[in-house]
Structure 1
Amino acid sequence: MYIPEHFEAGPDVIHDLLTRPGAANLVTMTSQGMLATFLPLIYEPSIGEHGALHGHLARTNPQWSEPSIGESLVIIQGADAYISPTWYASKEEHGRVVPTWNYSTAHVYGKLAVHDDAEWLGNHVRGLTGLNEARSERPWSVDDAPERYVSGQLRAIVGIELVISRIEAKAKLSQNRPDKDIIGVVAGLGAQGHQEIASDVARARQDRTHRDAGRA
């Protein structure tokens, strides 16, 4: 991934990308070519040096049964949004501004393992469900469904585990703009309802301010 120095994601951003509830793209290279699946994942920090990502695929999905050649890749996408030049204070000063796109993303590499036993899968789906139900007023549990039904559902999936070897992460959040332009970006994103990435831009601005103060 191309990562200019000012857009390099720090440890906090990487942790947020890994732990946020959501789905990501699993990409593997096989003898049949590249395969990809969009699937929900859960981060397990206690496995290996850098943790692991756990997910599951439909048993009928050939990606799990085709041996992966070399490292596999998970592409995690954070919030993203179009940035209008009209939000920049610099537009009124000199007009030398263009649109761009703000985003955060992580490319997570590692060795892919397959888990095809009921105990592993049962623990996995309970953990994944718990993560995504945590914000619900009345969270649903796997145990709310009939045991025989759950057993049948587990037989229809196969677990996958990406043991992480390295992470490349980028947070392009207007860090290369003057402070007055960043303030305009936060306001513009908020006005359009992009609250998550507006918060990301505001946090990146705060982090830059702290770094600059530390160098002074």
Structure 2
Amino acid sequence: MYIPRAFALDDLAQLQQLIQHTRLAQLVTLGEQGLQASHLPLLLNADEGPNGTLYGHLAKANPQWKDLQDGSEALVIFAGAEAYISPALYPAKAEHGKVVPTWNYIAVHAYGKAEVFSDAERLLGVVTALTDRHEGNRAQPWKVSDAPADYIEGMLKAIVGFALPIERLLGKRKLSQNRSPADIAGVREGLAASTDTRDQALARLIPPGASA
């Protein structure tokens, strides 16, 4: 990922927080069948290893798990808030007109080699933890134990789990830091006034008084 210094995000705690807040990640590998990608919910154990360890599972019918088993380095992409930035949001447009559109966004890339496993007890632990995480805000959360035990046993046989210790972490937070304070304020205010909730979400991440 291309990361100009102004946009670099290096703080481990912040990187891990962004990973935790991303509900669906993209797992990318390169193997005998070429590039493959899967969209997956993942768990982060922030205390396991220097950068944390990711846990997830793939369908056994999905050949991508074989890339992991073969030792292929994996790239996991966590895409955060993003928004189109119109030149109209910059006060500089009225001053000299030397402005162009861009895109602001936050992203984290995690790299590592995974351990693949099919042990039923370990798989159940991953599936249960993922379910509890995403059911947690519901008034009546569904639990894995709500389903018949023999049904869950059969479902576990159809998946492959993996643990991916993060060897490298790259973070990018592009929030107009390379613009003047006035332009940054214009971007923040313009996005906050948008009717698109995605724009509003990014506006909340631009600190008041941010400057280049």
1:131 aligns with 2:136: no
Q: Is the 8 A contact 2:25 2:41 kept in 1?
A: yes
Aligned AA (2:115): A
Gapped regions of structure 1 (runs ≥ 5)? none
Once the 2 structures are TM-superposed, how far is the Cα of residue 188 of structure 1 from its aligned partner? Answer: 2.0
Q: Is the 8 A contact 2:71 2:114 kept in 1?
A: no
| Displacement over 4 Å in runs of 4+ | none
Counterpart of 1:7 in structure 2 is: 7
Counterpart of 1:159 in structure 2 is: 161
Give the TM-score normalised by the residue count of structure 2: 0.89
Counterpart of 1:63 in structure 2 is: 64
Distance 1:199 1:15 in 2: 19
Once the 2 structures are TM-superposed, how far is the Cα of residue 70 of structure 1 from its aligned partner? Answer: 4.4
Call closer, same or farther: CA 1:99–1:130 in 2, change over 3 Å. same
Aligned AA (1:131): R
Counterpart of 2:177 in structure 1 is: 175
Which of 83, 86, 92 does residue 85 from structure 2 map onto? 83
Spell out the pairing of 1:1-216 with structure 2 (5 A cutoff): 1-11=1-11, 12-66=13-67, 67-190=69-192, 191-192=194-195, 193-194=197-198, 195-200=200-205, 202-203=206-207, 208=210
Call closer, same or farther: CA 1:76–1:122 in 2, change over 3 Å. same
Distance 1:149 1:86 in 2: 56
Q: Deviations over 1:69-114 (max 9, x none)?
A: 5422111111111111111122122221111001111111111110
Q: Is the 8 A contact 1:29 1:69 kept in 2?
A: no
- Sequence identity (%): 45
Gapped regions of structure 2 (runs ≥ 5)? none
Q: Is the 8 A contact 2:71 2:113 kept in 1?
A: no
Distance 1:69 1:147 in 2: 33
SS in structure 2 of the partner of residue 121 of structure 1: helix
Distance 2:111 2:22 in 1: 19
Q: Is the 8 A contact 2:41 2:56 kept in 1?
A: yes
Q: Is the 8 A contact 1:21 1:131 kept in 2?
A: no
Once the 2 structures are TM-superposed, how far is the Cα of residue 15 of structure 1 from its aligned partner? Answer: 2.1
Distance 2:136 2:203 in 1: 23
Q: Is the 8 A contact 1:29 1:68 kept in 2?
A: no
Moved more, 42-51 or 68-77: 68-77
Call closer, same or farther: CA 1:69–1:34 in 2, change over 3 Å. farther
Q: Is the 8 A contact 1:28 1:68 kept in 2?
A: no
Distance 1:68 1:37 in 2: 17
Q: Is the 8 A contact 1:31 1:69 kept in 2?
A: no
Give the TM-score normalised by the residue count of structure 1: 0.87
